[in-house]
Structure 1
Amino acid sequence: MAKLNNSTKTAAEAVAAKIAGGNKATTSQPNNVVSMPSIATDVKSDVDVTVPGLHTLTPDLIPASLPHFHANHYLIGDPLNPSEKLPQATESQYQSGIATYEGAQRALKLTGAAFDTTREKFTVIGKQAKAIGAGILAATEIEKVKGNFLDYQTQLEVTQQKGVTLDVAQTKTVTDRNIAVHTKTDLAERLKQAQIKAQESAAKTLEAQGKLNAFKQQLGEYLPK
């Protein structure tokens, strides 16, 4: 074990004393100190957000995605006399590697263009969905207007039917009034006819009474006194 120098030892002893003092302060509390409830520790700190098809990339994963490169292998002490230990590549390796990398870059560019095209496709799909949604809303409003128009036509027919009913009722009222007038006239005429018959009957009664009285007078002349 390596020995600590005086300054390091002093700093370590100070830290240990603070830790010990902190533990001692936390273990004993005065009676007048109100204990606070402990903070819940069962709250989930990480929320799992997994998007299908989306690559995961965090800073700790970046080194694994980089090509192997050791900068200390390319240390140059004397620029006029470079070391033969520097990494080397033959001309054929260089040409083959450059061709491979250029092909890979072209492939990546094509793949990127494919993703750009797909992104534009999704943008157009979203716009198409919005247009379809707007069309559905417009069609819904049109159907609502049609329904309101049918309600109007139905109410118009109901109003016309009520008008016909009113006209029939008014005609019936006029007819009943005319019938009442004629009925009262007929009753008045019947009353007059009854009065005339009564007068005729009274006249006949008077005439018969007069004849009876005259007969009694004539008969009384022949009766003994």
Structure 2
Amino acid sequence: MLKIENLSLSYDGKKTILEGLCLDAKEGSLHGLVGGNGSGKTSLFNCLYGTVVFQQGTILLNGSPLKRDAIAYLETENFFYPKITGKEYLNLFAHVNPGFDFRGWNELFVLPLNRLTDTYSSGMKKKLAFLGIMSFDRPVMILDEPFNGVDMETVQIMKVILDKLRHAGKIILITSHILESLTSICDSISYLSGKNIVFTYNRSDYDKIQEAVFGLDNAGTKARVARLLQS
């Protein structure tokens, strides 16, 4: 069990990003996080990974403080050493898990591993980074916008992989700006807004998410759009 309790984060003691946030995620579960730009999704992931220091709260994995070596983190933006090939990049991870079959997995992703990563598209870089963090085989996976820039076929392949990893007992946290990309795979989805989680719905209640997020403002938005189109 991954348990986040009363988590608060502010930068320079002034701008509060997260305040009193709580979240539970069980082993063998895939938990989605949605929210607007600047809502704190990436900041939450950085707290989990230890990239930033939060001021209050606890993050526990099975009752003990969560450590970085229990996490595989796929960041939104993927950076690579200049003038390194895809094969050379993956060879760096081979030292961590020599038994990981990069060649076999790449039969799914079809990356040109002998080419420099500088020549890769954003989607190809995302696939390469995803292969790297998969090889860690760690109990917690946090994936920040993993489907951004990736073609539709690869999105489906990634979803199949994540489903298998969930059934293997991984705890997976995943963000997306596209709600539909999460409802098809997640066991539960939380909405982050106003520095905290506003609600969490399980799969059986996903039909309520759209109304909960957009219901109050949707009528006003439609009316305003109609007026602007007529002007």
TM-score strictly above 0.5 = no
Richer in strand (by share): 2
TM-score, normalization by structure 1: 0.18
Structure with the greater relative contact order (CA < 8 A, sep ≥ 6): 1 or 2? 2
TM-score, normalization by structure 2: 0.18
